Amino acid sequence: MISLNLEIQLLKIEHLSALLELDQACFGGLWTMEGYQRELDSANSDLLGLFSPVSSSTLLGMGCFWSILEEAHITILAVHPQYHRQGLGQALLYSLIKTACDRGLERATLEVRASNLGAISLYQKFGFQTAGRRKRYYQDNDEDALILWLPDLQYPKFQSTLEQWHSIVCDRLDKSSWHLLFK
């Protein structure tokens, strides 16, 4: 079986049009060009992209978090619909958490639509727990958001958890014929 390479790397200004295309495919235009430009320009924002050299749409997924004090606030996680259920979301989430750890951040948080059971399941698989609910958080349909937290990123024990997650991610990708490379 042939394995296709995947790379996760920090996104740059030259990726702006690919970001907008992926945003359109995943969310119908959630963020604007100016919004992504701000993320790329901000020293407090890490915007990661998932690439494959053999794909017609070179940016397969993206994830972003803001560094706020000692917290990684995950603002977006998206995989092109054509590549769902292949482990790419796991790879991106793992990479966001690992990057937050490398930055010395102590915990991660995010909001997720209460109806997005697939995303909630992914986050729970990576140790996120529900900490609360924001009523009518999403303006498009007044849906509630669940607030999820992952604590203790800087505890020594968490390093072994990261190593376990890395193995889980790589095993899952292998089943879909992907091989993850880190830049």
Q: Which of 111, 138, 143, 155 is catalytic?
A: 111
What length does the chain have? 183
Instruction: Give the whole-angstrom CA distance, residue 173 versus residue 181.
Output: 11
Catalytic residue, candidates 123, 137, 143, 163: 123
163 in catalytic set? no
Alpha carbon distance 39, 175 (integer Å): 33
Distance, CA of 95 to chain centre:
7
DSSP 94: H
- Residue 123 annotated to the active site: yes
Catalytic annotation, residues: 111, 123
